[in-house]
């Protein structure tokens, strides 16, 4: 089996190291910055949605209070 031949192990290790080096560079320069951009976009979206949820919750609580007070006045 050629992959276990002692004469070719040096070239196989060298080829593997070259391949892994280029894979490392590819990940550092392209993949990781892309993932960071996606994470920043998602965090912005989550913060924006959280602010909307808080605003809607406050609006609904105010509306409930107003309705309750209106019915209290109506029933008197």
This prediction's pTM: 0.58
Q: What is the largest CA-CA distance in the chain?
A: 100
Phi then psi for 52, rounded to 5 degrees?
A: -65, -40
Q: pLDDT per residue over 4-50, tens digit each?
A: 788 888 888 999 999 999 999 999 999 999 999 999 999 999 999 99
C-alpha triplet 2, 3, 5: angle, nearest 5°: 60
Cα(8)–Cα(1) distance, rounded to whole angstroms?
A: 11
């Amino acid at each position: 089996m050629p992959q276990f031949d002692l004469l070719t192990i040096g070239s196989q290790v060298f080829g593997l190291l070259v391949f892994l080096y280029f894979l490392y560079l590819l990940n550092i320069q392209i993949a990781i910055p892309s993932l960071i951009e996606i994470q920043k976009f998602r965090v912005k979206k989550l913060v924006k949605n959280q602010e909307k949820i808080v605003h809607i919750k406050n609006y609904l609580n105010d509306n409930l209070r107003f309705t309750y007070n209106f019915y209290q006045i109506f029933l008197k």
